[in-house]
Amino acid sequence: MFDEQTILNELTFKAIRSSGSGGQHVNKTASKVELTFDLEHSQVLTSKQKELLKTNLQTRLTKEALLIMQCGESRSQFRNKAIIIQRFLELIKANLIEEKERIPTKTPKAVVKKRLTNKRRNSEKKANRKPPEID
């Protein structure tokens, strides 16, 4: 797949001021962490993996093929950094999995026969509800 330690070296982190709880201290500390990953210039991923990630993550990538993620859940910058690294690795692993191509199967003859007999039975049932035609 890919080496997690080397891909972590390609990440850039930036601490920014977080909104939310924190009281007076919130205006002084930068506890929210922003992670940036440059998909185009990654040395860890192969070109096939890069193309797969581009298609799967096209809504989350910028025009320059940058993946930007933020985490400001915790008041601790260290904890936010750990959370965002975990989310990043899960996102990359989940989107590197190629879906198997579905092989269409034939409908079994017994299923077709059962459907037709049920259809015939229903039509006879409804036909019997009609009043008889008198000529």
Q: What is the pLDDT of residues 18-51, one digit of tens each?
A: 776 666 666 677 889 999 999 999 999 999 999 9
Residue closest to 55 by CA, chosen among 39, 43, 37: 39
| Residues 42/55, Cβ–Cβ less than 8 Å | no
Q: Which fold has domain 4-95?
A: Double Stranded RNA Binding Domain (3.30.160)
Mean pLDDT of all residues in 95-115: 93
Q: What is the pLDDT of residues 51-94, one digit of tens each?
A: 999 999 999 999 999 999 999 888 888 999 999 999 999 999 99
Helix 47-56 / helix 77-95 crossing angle, nearest 10 deg: 100
The per-residue pLDDT of the chain, averaged, comes to 89
